[in-house]
């Protein structure tokens, strides 16, 4: 019969199955750091590794076992006695040790890998479980490739290992072959046919080869399983394991259907995901459920309008529930007028309707060019189109003397606030002399961040386009200038940047 308990145990295999995936290996210090984070997350069982795989893995498991106090620490091993002994040596110092032993049960694996009969596998499974029970009462058995195993034989082996002392029996979809409904039927079949199944916790371990690992795990839970083996960010062999954060938040969000609960502290989910990405150097895909960068980001104008009015319109869980600070309204070409108006208010701009319309029109024009718009882009639009005043600085004349036998000197004539002034100064080259003279005349000293020249057309008579970027406090301000004479274009670009800075001054005091 199925368990009456609604408590689901979370068995995390990030440090074992997850680490086996190419590109996700961690050194012992990193594994310990992550294990401690899993303990903070509230994981029930941490599968720390496969102790017999290497001396390094053994030491890592042993170190984790000695440090973790609240979560159970499991060591994986085959059913051979030497494997089990090695696993116990690694985890025996744990406050809550678990031996997790396994053997394949499908005819595919028996014929092509083990070269054993069903009877031989059944015997070895029971001997292995009994041997493990000599060390601890907390023994888990896994029937590798269970979803491709003959159901009657699987039922027989599950009953036998429970009689032998297994307190948890895992039914893994090792190669990600099963469909959710099919897997749920398999778990239900075991509950109907295994006479002693009430003496053990039934666990599920699914892989994402067909993209249904989480759905398959949930189907197993609905059928009566009460442990899920999963990994943070869904990492693992091939296409990965069932994602811990997706399983947990599905249970948390759809209690009306699943009627289950876990012991996970959901606010620690996002920090745990970020720590794994930091340790492994592998970033989460942006569209990953729960922890991806876009999980709580919205660009569609319709969605943004709904969210501004009421969060529940387009969010089925709050970002804070998983440790994300807030919803992200991403401004881009799909954003609507309401989102722009809301962002303007948050930025402290109280604009009239006509001014908002002007900003929105310019915003859309720029958003068609840029993939994503930022607050600085909106500020620049406001500075240029709403608070723009006549240019403070105007270039009237420039002459530069330079060469390998002359000190580069620029003579510049400008109009500053309506007054005409002229100055000459030198530099290490003709462009540097030009900028130095302008700085002296305008009494400014902004750091030059970027200077770039490119020709509009081919040929020596091509018009040059110069881009200048100056740092003004925490902002990078760009200026552009064009002229067949590159030095004239450079002066125009520098002065254009200074005028934009003046516009920002006015913006900040508006």
Lowest model confidence (mean pLDDT) among 78-87, 346-355, 463-472 = 346-355
| pLDDT band, very low/low/confident/very high, at 153 (cuts 50, 70, 90) | very high
pLDDT at 506: 59
Instruction: Tell me the two tokens of residue 180.
Output: 């959710």
Kindly report the pTM of this predicted structure.
0.69
pLDDT at 488: 94
pLDDT at 370: 61
pLDDT at 355: 82
pLDDT at 163: 98
pLDDT at 386: 66
pLDDT at 328 over 60: no
Distance CA 312, CA 317 (A): 8
pLDDT at 385: 65
Share of the chain above pLDDT 70, in %: 86
pLDDT at 2: 43
Lowest model confidence (mean pLDDT) among 138-152, 293-307, 315-329 = 293-307
Lowest model confidence (mean pLDDT) among 311-320, 333-342, 465-474 = 311-320
Contacts of 50 (CB under 8 A, 6+ apart): 16, 57, 75, 76, 77
pLDDT at 360: 82
Lowest model confidence (mean pLDDT) among 110-124, 425-439, 461-475 = 461-475
Using N-to-C axis directions, what is the helix angle for 151-164 and 180-193, rounded to 10°?
Answer: 50
pLDDT at 190 over 80: yes
Distance CA 20, CA 301 (A): 42
287-305 exposure pattern, b = at least 16 Cβ within 10 A, e = fewer: ebebbbeebbbbbbbebbb
Q: Using CB atoms within 10 A of its CB, is residue 271 exposed (0-12), middle (13-18) or buried (19+)?
A: middle
Distance CA 42, CA 37 (A): 9
Domains of the chain: 9-280 (3.20.20.70), 297-385 (no CATH), 393-508 (3.30.160.270)
Which of 504, 510, 437, 439 has its CA nearest to residue 474?
Answer: 504
pLDDT at 461 over 70: no
| pLDDT band, very low/low/confident/very high, at 383 (cuts 50, 70, 90) | low
Positive or negative: CA dihedral 64, 69, 71, 76: positive
Whether residue 176 contacts residue 146, with contact meaning beta carbons closer than 8 Å, is answered with: no
pLDDT at 179 over 90: yes
pLDDT at 411 over 90: yes
pLDDT at 252 over 60: yes
16-33 exposure pattern, b = at least 16 Cβ within 10 A, e = fewer: bbbbbbeebebebebbbe
Contacts of 322 (CB under 8 A, 6+ apart): 245, 249, 266, 267, 269, 270, 290, 291
Mean pLDDT for the stretch of residues 4-17: 93
pLDDT at 192: 98
Residue 152's φ and ψ, nearest 5 degrees, are -65, -40
Q: What is the mean pLDDT of the chain?
A: 89
| pLDDT band, very low/low/confident/very high, at 510 (cuts 50, 70, 90) | very low
Strand residues in 13-69 grouped as ranges (E): 45-49
pLDDT at 371: 61
CA angle at residue 166 from 161 to 171, to 5 degrees? 70
pLDDT at 358: 83
Residue 336's φ and ψ, nearest 5 degrees, are -105, 175
Lowest model confidence (mean pLDDT) among 2-6, 73-77, 478-482 = 2-6
pLDDT at 37 over 50: yes
Mean pLDDT for the stretch of residues 166-176: 98
| pLDDT band, very low/low/confident/very high, at 20 (cuts 50, 70, 90) | confident
Decide the pairing of beta strands 168-173 and 201-206. Answer: parallel
Contacts of 201 (CB under 8 A, 6+ apart): 3, 9, 167, 168, 169, 226, 227
Distance CA 127, CA 157 (A): 12
């Amino acid at each position: 019969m199925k368990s009456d308990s609604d408590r689901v145990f979370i068995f995390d295999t990030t440090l074992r199955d997850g680490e086996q995936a190419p590109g996700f290996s961690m050194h012992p210090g990193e594994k310990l750091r992550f294990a401690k984070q899993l303990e903070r997350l509230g994981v029930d069982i941490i599968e720390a590794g496969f102790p017999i795989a290497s001396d390094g893995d053994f030491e890592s498991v042993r170190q984790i076992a000695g440090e973790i106090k609240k979560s159970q620490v499991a060591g994986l091993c085959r059913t051979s006695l030497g494997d089990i002994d090695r696993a116990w040596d690694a985890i025996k110092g744990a406050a809550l040790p678990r031996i997790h032993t396994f053997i394949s049960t499908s005819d595919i694996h028996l014929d092509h890998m083990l070269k054993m009969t069903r009877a031989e596998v059944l015997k070895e499974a029971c001997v292995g479980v009994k041997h493990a029970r000599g060390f601890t009462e907390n023994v888990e058995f896994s029937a590798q490739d269970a979803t491709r195993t003959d159901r009657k034989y699987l039922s027989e082996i599950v009953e036998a290992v429970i009689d032998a002392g297994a307190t948890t029996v895992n039914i893994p979809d090792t190669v990600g072959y099963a469909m959710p409904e099919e897997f749920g039927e398999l778990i239900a079949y075991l509950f109907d046919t295994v006479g002693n199944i009430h003496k053990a916790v039934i666990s599920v371990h699914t892989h994402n080869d067909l993209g249904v690992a989480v759905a398959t795990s949930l189907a197993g839970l609905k059928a009566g399983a009460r442990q899920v083996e999963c990994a943070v960010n869904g990492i693992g062999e091939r296409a990965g394991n069932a994602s811990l954060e997706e399983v947990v938040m599905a249970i948390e969000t759809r209690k009306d259907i699943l009627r289950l609960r876990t012991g996970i502290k959901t606010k620690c989910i996002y920090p745990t995901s970020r720590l794994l990405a930091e340790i492994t150097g592998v970033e989460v895909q942006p569209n990953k459920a729960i922890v991806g960068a876009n999980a709580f980001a919205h660009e569609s104008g319709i969605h943004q309008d709904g969210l501004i009015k009421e969060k529940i319109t387009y969010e089925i869980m709050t970002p804070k529930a998983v440790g994300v600070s807030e919803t992200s309204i991403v401004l881009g070409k799909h954003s609507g007028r309401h989102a722009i108006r809301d962002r303007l208010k948050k930025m402290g701009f109280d604009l009239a309707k006509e001014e908002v319309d002007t900003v929105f029109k310019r915003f859309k024009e720029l958003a068609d060019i840029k993939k994503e718009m930022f607050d600085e882009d909106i500020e620049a639009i406001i500075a240029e189109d709403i608070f723009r005043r006549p240019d403070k600085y105007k270039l009237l004349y420039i002459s530069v003397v330079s060469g390998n036998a002359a000190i580069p000197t620029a003579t510049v004539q400008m109009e500053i606030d309506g007054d005409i002034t002229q100055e000459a100064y030198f530099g290490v080259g003709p462009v540097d002399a030009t900028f130095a003279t302008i700085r002296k005349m305008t009494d400014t000293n902004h750091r030059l961040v970027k200077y770039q020249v490119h020709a509009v057309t081919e040929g020596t008579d091509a018009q040059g386009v110069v881009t200048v970027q100056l740092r003004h406090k925490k902002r990078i301000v760009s200026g552009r200038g064009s002229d067949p004479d590159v030095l004239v274009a450079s002066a125009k670009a520098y002065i254009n940047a200074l005028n934009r800075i003046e516009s920002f001054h006015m913006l900040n005091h508006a």
